[in-house]
């Protein structure tokens, strides 16, 4: 399979994993209800996403860069809400 075709798998994976995160982020932002969210898990998740973004930048993978940028923004927002209201 040529490399260009494999890039589309990355875009599809990025769209699905990042897209699946959006409804939870929207609900949390709207309601500020963070009772069911683990502070430790979200802190670890946010750092992990930042590392994936750094890795994506290092290897020049646009699917990883775009997906992890969006996810990092959403995860950071949710973590901030958890720290403020949780």
The whole domain housing 55 covers 3-85
CATH number at residue 30: 1.20.1280.290
pLDDT of residue 5: 74
How many folded domains does the chain comprise? 1
Answer for the pair 28, 37: CB distance below 8 angstroms, yes or no: yes
- Backbone phi, psi, residue 29, to 5°: -65, -40
pTM of the model: 0.83
Helix (H) or strand (E) holding 19: helix 3-31
CA angle 79, 81, 83 (to 5 degrees): 70
Q: How far apart are CA 58 and CA 23, in angstroms?
A: 29
The rounded distance, in Å, linking the Cα atoms of 73 and 12 is 20
**Nearest Cα to 22, choosing from 77, 81, 65?**
77
Q: Write out pLDDT tens, residues 7-50.
A: 888 889 889 988 988 998 999 999 999 999 899 999 999 999 99
């Amino acid at each position: 399979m040529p490399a260009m075709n494999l890039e589309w798998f990355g875009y599809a994976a990025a769209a699905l994993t990042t897209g699946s995160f959006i409804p939870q982020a929207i609900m949390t932002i709207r309601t500020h209800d963070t009772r069911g969210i683990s502070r430790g898990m979200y802190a670890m998740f946010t750092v992990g996403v930042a590392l994936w973004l750094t890795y994506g930048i290092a290897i020049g993978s646009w699917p990883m860069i775009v997906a992890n940028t969006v996810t990092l923004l959403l995860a950071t927002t949710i973590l901030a809400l958890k720290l403020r209201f949780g």
